[in-house]
Structure 1
């Protein structure tokens, strides 16, 4: 299986390489001779996302431009205000080099250990349009940024923080951020609301220039495109910025010039890109083109960083040829280790897996096993954070590299996932998880830090989530001495999970189904912001497909209570089944009860909530521990959304775009029928988002009402219903199919799913057609118009 995975991975690499070379026909990257590296984007196609640029936060690519903050015609108060985003070139650059000699470098920057630093020079020019939609007053600002990592903007970086910092971190030297800002909102520390500034580790600029006296308005009523040039002289330690209306020559004099020592400020390996934010005022921050030249520095002592940069940016070597060479090397390595295994029984799997991971584009950091063993105190039980079917997770502390928030040499807390099966299947799980999460970038996803595969041990390293998982706070708060989650936090967590799911389903360059969405896989960072994690079951599906199915073994994956009913028939995971699991999480968060629970004669939370909805008292489902401290409108919104996502027919469940709109309060809650609709399979309307398979031939068409209203609620009407029959497994099944269904399906077909629903044992009335949801956010098309 590992060999087959390698072959498929190499084929995918070739296909990806071919498409990449095409997309770079006009967006070129080259070596710029012996002393510089250049890249050029004359426009931006969505295909460059995740390949050439990293798009994080509220940024996007559409209309041929980088939209650093959202570009939408929808309700501004929901879609345009209080946003922050970043777009960064996908490859980091080495910006300073510690000289081995004892003297100072050319720029006079001293260095530790008796050596000076040589700092790279760079020049960039980009075309930007800061557009005020409908003539509104613009805010807050846009910036060209040098950052230590390609991470999303920190929480709380909206408003005047420009997506760079927040109130807790602003001004800290550990930020290692330099930015040239175009600010359109006057803060107490700003000269006015139309200036350019140089920011070092914070948004209080170290140098500013008011632009109005120069005849430049960043965001005029009538839109104007500007070309912005930024030149940095590493030897002199000086930065200069120039601005002119697009199409005009570069001015002779800069609009801003100031001393700047990047060697003492930024990380050795840093990313170039753009950052922006909006507050209560908003603007569209569009980058239409971008060219850049960066001086090359020696990489002899930089290991994989230099190799990765050379591979990514080298001129004269066709991408397809590089991929073929990698394929030949990997297959050759496979042959060698297989022979070695035959001779001396060596570990084949470890070498193969390591080769495959290193072949991944933009692969994560590789740790040595002994480093992670030391970090976790030899995998001490006291460092254990959690355990699941795929392994044990430990807390640890490692030394950071250039991608770490604190830079190289900093102390970084991590979560180390140690796979429990060091076998062929374990390797497949490991590779499946790594190949998917390697390139995922979203503020509501747990970030992958690195990996290790030594001594037959499979380990993944994630950023540490100090507040644990959502289920710990919902169900173990009292025992652990934690404070109960308040209503505002609960709503924010649900919205964060929805945003992450929308990214996986529709915004990432592949479509990803998570397959194991549940409260224990929703992590909480230091600010209690939701981070969806544990991609051990996640799988990518082809763009023109809608479902994923295991090639071998089959079976229903996931956790009872979160598994959509159609999955028991198709054994396939889809985006619709992810939405079903999300609905279970929503109800869990609002009600403070697990999806599988015993309450008032019901075995599943969804059935109890649906009964309360039918009776017109759905708010009775809200967690009583909140003691009434919740917003009734929002509680009803979440409960109805949870029921809509739990609809037995896959096609009736809302899509993630509609879900995010509902949670942003830009569209009303979905219409939910008073009776829970019957589960019908095969779906009468083709209700799954894929019809590539049908139900198993030995299962006839099944119609069930998945409510549990035959419990205490309907005791007086049981005489009207046909008597159930009891099977050997104590499940009560309908006589029409008893004995014909597979054993794994029987729990689904229990009395809880064959219950009488009407006052006299009648079936519930057919549900009304759901009200149409508002369409997805649409582009303002301002970019195209400009």
Structure 2
């Protein structure tokens, strides 16, 4: 379950004194947990002053349990889809829609003060932070809008609430006090009552905002052409009856000043028992309205406790004072306990964990050599920055020199250069990455794979040792940059070397997919992970994302980490929807590598109006000018037949439909010139999801056609771009989510 519940009995004492809730509210999207992992529900009789729930991702099993999904909303792709996420015909499936997703349990947001009258109602403070992605399909205009909602019931949106009504009201109910709703809108369509088509507004019982602010002067565009994700913070101070809204890019921290601030008396507006959630709509134009993560802290007003009488107020205040003193003492005691006991236990646990991991590695059949940590530290000159070869999401790679394996008498006393990969995440996840990579590559034996030399796991440090590749990576030769101090000058790769490199990688891929005793999907095949030895022989490396799958399975899905792994330009379009790695997705990445190698351009590049290399090459193929894509740095020194073969093979591997891509074995035969390249249609086929053939690992016998589909299509967008929370969202262009390491 993606949601957890936490009651904080010693927090939010400030709420009774009028201190703004925002001053102490939690705005991170981290997950809160309890001992039993129970779901977040506010229930009468539960202790504590606040209720907190946190969703870092969303799964379908939350529907009807923690989430009420109504209207045209859904949960898929790891996100709340407030309006439909569909690749079907827009006129039928995307326009004139409205939906809501609400947290399933209501909250008591105010209570009458029986001693002072309704003017002094007790009103709950709350703090919300959520990550939102409002996305438009290429070539379309956004509309209508998205809103954070407080509603009196979990009912579906009223009929006719599409278009400018944002799923909140309709033509007959808008402005009625009986609506009892409050919403913070992110509006992307200008109505006569709006300042523009890119603003934030506060709505009370109506879509005509009581306060609004244009976001354009602040440099924020709710629904830009390129995908953007924003964090929105909403802090409400029940004592001061004031709301403040903050907004920033997901990579930025909470701003110091709010985007919008206004007086708001929830006690006079919303129902005593109300629901929190989201609402959105589309009109003649449409957009996707997705919530990726959601965290809330709400001051708790119990249902079974009345306001104390005047005669008991003095006693109550005294008890509060005593309670605060006791709380301070308890906190101090807990602090001492943590310093004296917990840290000691944690250190001991880490030592035991290291020992367990070491035992597991030593038990591997044909296990690699175990290095002493001090030996590797000395080999890399104490991990000197000048020895660094590369860096990525899983760690840093250093060049080093070690004494050759002492168990081999013929090489005793000699030294050898190595690449030492130091994992950056000294945590359980880093340990999982370490063990996953080691367990897979330990038994792989192929001349076109980087060889594992050894490992070390001392003092909590995780290190893998690989053979050193003196010619670096393929991308360093395709895209020559100014040499750094001490680095070898790079020379442009000739045609024969390029063809041989592609052949070598294809051979390695065939081995991983078909010849090893388990199917292995690499999941991060790209030019920066193709290493070159002293003879410029290709060696496929970086198995940090690689996973073995059973022979009767077709895909691997990492439930724990979630999201889409890899680098934009190499990620197959279906992965944004399935979040699964397959042999077909590896082949798609290999197609990007082929085109990159032949053309001397990165898969994600701007050329002649195209944003991706594959689209440009496909257009040249349509016009009968494919050879114009060959890298001009070759000065025409290439074999035209082989160049045509590689370009067509690159396009065939880049087919949007997984089942239409050639298998690794066929690719190797094509590169050996023993079989022809599959027919490539002149027009790039449309990507349609779900795939018509309904599966993977099967080759369709139907030839590709040049007919363009009338469905809404995309090569790398829609719902996959919205999953997930933390930093596991699909990467922005040119952003690498894995790292370029050996």
Report the TM-score when normalising by structure 1.
0.45
